[in-house]
Amino acid sequence: MSETLNREGLLEAYRTMRTIREFEERVHNDFATGEIPGFVHLYAGEEASATGVCMHLRGEDYIASTHRGHGHCIAKGVDPVGMMAEIWGRATGTCKGKGGSMHIADLGVGMLGANGIVGGGGPLICGTALASKLRGDKTVGVCFFGDGASNQGTIFEAMNLATVWNLPAIFVAENNGYAEATSSTFSVACDNIADRASAFGMPGVIVDGFDFFAVHEAAGEAIRRAREGGGPTLIEMKLSRYYGHFEGDQQTYRADGEVQKLRETKDCLMQFRKRVTANGEITNEQLDAIDAEIRSLIDGSVAKAKADPKPGAADLMTDVYVSY
Amino acid sequence: MARKITYQQAINEALDQEMGRDKTVIVMGEDNAGGAGSPGEDDAWGGVLGVTKGLYHKHPGRVLDTPISESGFIGAAVGAACNGMRPVAELMFVDFMGVCFDQIFNQAAKFKYMFGGKAETPVVIRTMYGAGFRAAAQHSQCLYNIFTHIPGLKVVVPSNPYDAKGLLIQSIRDNDPVIFMEHKVLYTMEGEVPEELYTVPFGEAAVVREGGDVTIVAIGRMVGFAQEAAASLQKQGIHCEIIDPRTTSPLDEDTILESVENTGRLVVVDESNPRCSMASDIAGIVAQKAFGALKAPIEQVTAPHVPVPFSDALEDLYIPNAAAIEAAVKRVKEYR
């Protein structure tokens, strides 16, 4: 709840969510011009989840992410300027232009990578959490995954292993309602992904993923328990994405006006602003100032990405262990 | 020196000594201790064939039994490697790669490149391969060629106890993902192995036998068969040079090419199925890079292109043997 966050904490939360939103809206617009190569999957709409979880994490804690990973990256502290350059395929990108949107990683800040394989992160986060446990340093690992990945065997295996080894791991299922174009009401056999937690001997929690404060509270409890050796938790965030599975997706599988209604009634930034300004804790002017600052940051990141060089031929063969 | 131990003991000793030297080295896999949570012994098996036996009590808390959940624990080994550990995960039989390959080839192998050089993944995946146990189609394959195809993996195929120990120590110390292939039939092979720690470098083939007539490149268990064939051929006046690549990735092309430049004749022996195999790869490299030296077509001695059969009558036909190698050497030697 907000009482656990002081004013600086609230401003930080807003800043992170706004950075993700601005980043994603900007990628959305620039992708439409045809200048950004490849596939991008946008996180807009889901900001409260990454932000509310990652605010409890330290640099040494790890997260594993998904193909929809920009928000997790930003929330875990990856530099948005480097990320933008990466998405534009520049040598100055977070991964020197070799990873792209689906593989942004920065192990230096505990970000084990967006992941092009649905469900790929579950086993990996068991590994970082195993290392945490063996060292006894009270660090944790958080695996973000979607409703699509919730049906992958790797996620089942990872949740089972996490309980068997009593790992400091947190499984965050971001149920945005669609695995690509298929509804989770069709593809997930039980009512809630969180219902599966009992099958793996861990607590399962359902959270309104549009509500930053609900996310922050649930994640805080799970992460605290994991740090203290209490084992894993599965948290299901009920939320939605504002854009398609990938940019260019016409989303004909969605209801008319579905996203517009969510934006108007549920939007995490809107709810957050309403709540923190209602009691005068924070003023609208302060939040507006953050908005302007972030817009300038993202504008700058795009301008820099456009101007930065692409990798050269010599970069093709580096960073691989065996060359022929 | 003169101390002789088995291939299996050499692997156990390498693990033991490296775990003693470096606390970040951990061992995990199905029944690697054996008996976790059971009412009986807590180090009941030490791996299905006992390769890790005894490590559990010598290194408390660092030999981890896992559920039968290869994606889960192979991936966990990869994740732990990204977070400061040096895990040695056992994929019991290489045939089980099918249920965890994503974690190996899409995750571990690609991190360093995908992440712009910022990730180290010092994980070793030990795995049993090879026919000869009457274990049939799903427990007998030689799949090192598939791993070799993937950029970002190093692939190690020791043919004797000395190399097994030195290459495993090198694998553990290496900062990249290594697939360490152990031929199950070789576990009982004895050889001289130093008691102290030593490494055998990757990408350096061993010239097992010198000779000027025909080059034989043999991998893993096939090295022994090549030696058998070469001894017989020697008596018939044909002098074979045997090269054991020891690692298929990186592959020591230079040693192979130098030998063929000298002999002009090549037989490649590979227990795998023939298509897209190490045999075809090595033959291709030599055809491309030493074409002018060749005096005869390259011969490939491989398993046939069928799954590994169960019946001993069929499995014995399936596995390449010394007689097949001898015949191939004679064909290239007599080619006009």
Contact flag A134-B85 (C-beta cutoff 8 Å): yes
Tokens encoding B219: 């991998």
What pLDDT digit, counting tens, does each position of B143-163 carry?
999 999 999 999 999 999 999
Helix (H, G, I), strand (E, B) or coil at A190: coil
What is the β-pairing status of strands B154-156 and A204-208?
Answer: unpaired
Whole-structure pTM value: 0.93
Q: How many angstroms separate the CA atoms of A123 and B81, rounded?
A: 12
| CATH number, domain containing residue A296 | 3.40.50.970
CA distance A117 to chain B (A): 8
Which A positions 291-320 lie with beta carbon below 8 A of chain B? 318-320
Contact assessment for residue A102 and residue A68, using Cβ atoms and an 8 Å cutoff: no
Tokens encoding A99: 């990873």
A1: pLDDT strictly greater than 50:
no
Contact flag A161-B69 (C-beta cutoff 8 Å): yes
Does A215 fall in a domain?
A: yes
Task: Give the list of residues 6+ apart from residue B303 with CB closer than 8 angstroms, or none.
Answer: B131, B142, B271, B272, B273, B274, B318, B319, B320
What residues of B are in contact with residue A126 (Cβ under 8 Å)?
Answer: 72-73, 75-76, 79
**Residue in chain A nearest B155 by alpha carbon:** A322
A3: pLDDT strictly greater than 60:
no
Q: How many angstroms separate the CA atoms of B273 and B290, rounded?
A: 24
A315: pLDDT strictly greater than 60:
yes
- Picking from B153, B163, B146, B151, the residue whose alpha carbon sits closest to that of residue B204 is B163
Q: How many angstroms separate the CA atoms of A64 and A113, rounded?
A: 6
In chain A, % of residues over pLDDT 70: 98
Does A323 fall in a domain?
A: no
What rounded mean pLDDT belongs to chain B? 97
Does A272 fall in a domain?
A: yes
Tokens encoding B229: 């064939």
What pLDDT digit, counting tens, does each position of B292-306 carry?
999 999 999 999 999
Instruction: Name the percent of chain A in helix, strand, coil, to the closest 5.
Output: 50, 10, 40
Q: How many angstroms separate the CA atoms of A250 and A103, rounded?
A: 24
What pLDDT digit, counting tens, does each position of A90-144 carry?
999 999 999 999 999 999 999 999 999 999 999 999 999 999 999 999 999 999 9
What pLDDT digit, counting tens, does each position of A252-293 carry?
999 999 999 999 999 999 999 999 999 888 999 999 999 999
What pLDDT digit, counting tens, does each position of A150-195 carry?
999 999 999 999 999 999 999 999 999 999 999 999 999 999 999 9
Q: In one letter, which amino acid is B219?
A: I
Helix (H, G, I), strand (E, B) or coil at A204: strand
CA distances from A215 to A178, A221, A283, B240, B329 (A): 20, 10, 23, 70, 70
Give pLDDT, residue A323. 66
Q: Which domain holds residue A54?
A: 2-316
For this structure, is B139 an active site residue? yes
Helices (H), A33-69: 47-54
- What is the tally of structural domains in chain A? 1
Does A324 fall in a domain?
A: no
CA distances from A232 to A177, A219, B37 (A): 24, 11, 20
Give pLDDT, residue B1. 57
Give pLDDT, residue B115. 96
Q: How many angstroms separate the CA atoms of B156 and B144, rounded?
A: 8
The 10 Å Cβ neighbour count of residue B305 is 10
Nearest to B116 among A319, A321, A324 (CB): A319
What rounded mean pLDDT belongs to chain A? 96
CA distances from B15 to B54, B73, B171, B173, B202 (A): 11, 18, 11, 11, 18
What residues of A are in contact with residue B63 (Cβ under 8 Å)?
Answer: none
Contact flag A161-B116 (C-beta cutoff 8 Å): no
Of the pLDDT bands very low, low, confident and very high (cuts 50, 70, 90), residue A324 is low
Contact flag B76-A103 (C-beta cutoff 8 Å): no
**Residue in chain A nearest B123 by alpha carbon:** A127
Contact assessment for residue A97 and residue A86, using Cβ atoms and an 8 Å cutoff: yes
Q: In one letter, which amino acid is B13?
A: E
Does A62 fall in a domain?
A: yes
Q: Between A320 and B84, name the one with better pLDDT.
A: B84
* Residue B194: cis peptide before it, omega within 30 degrees of 0: no
Contact flag A98-B115 (C-beta cutoff 8 Å): yes
Does A200 fall in a domain?
A: yes
Give the pLDDT mean for B79-106.
Answer: 97
Of the pLDDT bands very low, low, confident and very high (cuts 50, 70, 90), residue A32 is very high
Does A322 fall in a domain?
A: no
Give pLDDT, residue A272. 98
Give the pLDDT mean for B62-89.
Answer: 97
What residues of A are in contact with residue B154 (Cβ under 8 Å)?
Answer: 321-322
Give pLDDT, residue A226. 98
Give pLDDT, residue A198. 98
Does A321 fall in a domain?
A: no
Give the pLDDT mean for B246-251.
Answer: 98
CA distance A260 to chain B (A): 36
Of the pLDDT bands very low, low, confident and very high (cuts 50, 70, 90), residue B35 is confident
Catalytic residue among B139, B149, B239, B305: B139
Tokens encoding B292: 């002018």
Give pLDDT, residue B2. 77
Of the pLDDT bands very low, low, confident and very high (cuts 50, 70, 90), residue A2 is very low
- Picking from B104, B222, B174, the residue whose alpha carbon sits closest to that of residue A123 is B104
Task: Give the list of residues 6+ apart from residue B122 with CB closer than 8 angstroms, or none.
Answer: B81, B86, B172, B174, B175, B176, B177
What residues of A are in contact with residue B61 (Cβ under 8 Å)?
Answer: 134
What pLDDT digit, counting tens, does each position of A241-254 carry?
999 999 999 999 99
**What domains can be seen in chain B, in order of their start residue?**
4-192 (3.40.50.970), 206-334 (3.40.50.920)
